[in-house]
Amino acid sequence: MELIFATNNKNKVKEVQSLLPETLQLITLSEAGIDVEIPEPFETLEENAHTKIETILRLTYRTNGFSEDSGLFIPALQARPGVHSAHYAGPQRSDADNIQMVLSEMRNQADRSAYFQTTICLIWNGETHFFTGTCPGTIEMAPRGSGGFGYDPIFRPDGSSSTFGEMDLVEKNRYSHRKKAVHQLIEFLREAEKKS
């Protein structure tokens, strides 16, 4: 089975690819010959994920594919950076700048709880399906580790003493929001294959 994944984020492709069975072949945007900045204009992960995959299916004349939108949500910051996680500190989309911005806003906060959320939008034979995964954790006082991407060095998932930045992919996948959403996607596709 072939499925297009509407993202330009190589880290997301690597994480999702590591979770998929060999029978499911991921087509990346570069493999599909698409080089566009995909719009994320909305205030919810669902709407952004939906518009991303709709745009890409239209451009590639394909029927089936999925996208994901994700972010870090911090209750003490009224759920920021949230849907704006990728460009929180500005349009340069710098992970280091985003991390510094969050750490400075969190300096005097007693509640350091946070969660990552991933929402996958699958368009499958004309129908739209959403799969969501969350990962609760804590914002550390300073970055630790250089693995992963985005806010990984300052996020420690509940149940671990390491930040995502200190974990390899196998370990991150034990906790990851993205893994939880991808597993639901895989289950859906397994059932759909059985019915076809």
Asked if 158 and 136 count as a contact pair (C-beta separation under 8 A), the reply is yes
Instruction: Enumerate helices (H) and strands (E) in the chain, giving the number of each.
Output: 5, 6
Catalytic residues: 69
Strands of 113-124's sheet in order across: 25-27, 2-5, 65-73, 113-124, 127-139, 155-157
Q: Residues in contact with ligand IMP, total (CB under 6 A)?
A: 17
Nearer to ligand IMP, 101 or 192 (CB): 101
Q: How far is the CB of 46 from ligand IMP (least distance, A)?
A: 12
Question: Within 102-121, which residues bind ligand IMP (CB under 6 A)?
Answer: 116
What is the smallest separation between the CB atom of 125 and ligand IMP, expressed in angstroms?
A: 25
Contact of 5 with 16, CB cutoff 8 Å: yes
Amino acid at 188: F
26-65 residues in contact with ligand IMP (CB under 6 A) are: 40
CB nearer to ligand IMP: give 16 or 123: 16
Residues 120-179 that bind ligand IMP (CB under 6 A): 148-152, 164, 178
- Residue from 86, 103, 169, 186 touching ligand IMP (CB under 6 A): that is 86
CB of 148 to ligand IMP, least distance (A): 6
- Per residue, what are the HEC states of 118-153? EEEEEEECCEEEEEEEEEEEEECCCCCCCCCCCCHH
Instruction: Indicate left, alpha or beta for 50 from its phi (over 0: left) and psi (-120 to 50: alpha).
Output: alpha
Cβ 25 to ligand IMP shortest distance, Å: 22
Q: Are 85 and 70 in contact (CB under 8 A)?
A: yes
Exposed, middle or buried, 104 (CB in 10 Å: 0-12/13-18/19+)?
exposed
Q: Which is nearer to ligand IMP, 51 or 70 (CB)?
A: 70
71 touching ligand IMP, by CB under 6 A: yes
Instruction: Give whichever of 178 and 180 is closer to ligand IMP, judged by the CB atom.
Output: 178
Question: Smallest gap, in angstroms, from Cβ of residue 49 to ligand IMP?
Answer: 8
Residue with CB nearest ligand IMP? 150
Q: Which residues bind ligand IMP (CB under 6 A)?
A: 9, 40, 69-72, 85-86, 98, 116, 148-152, 164, 178
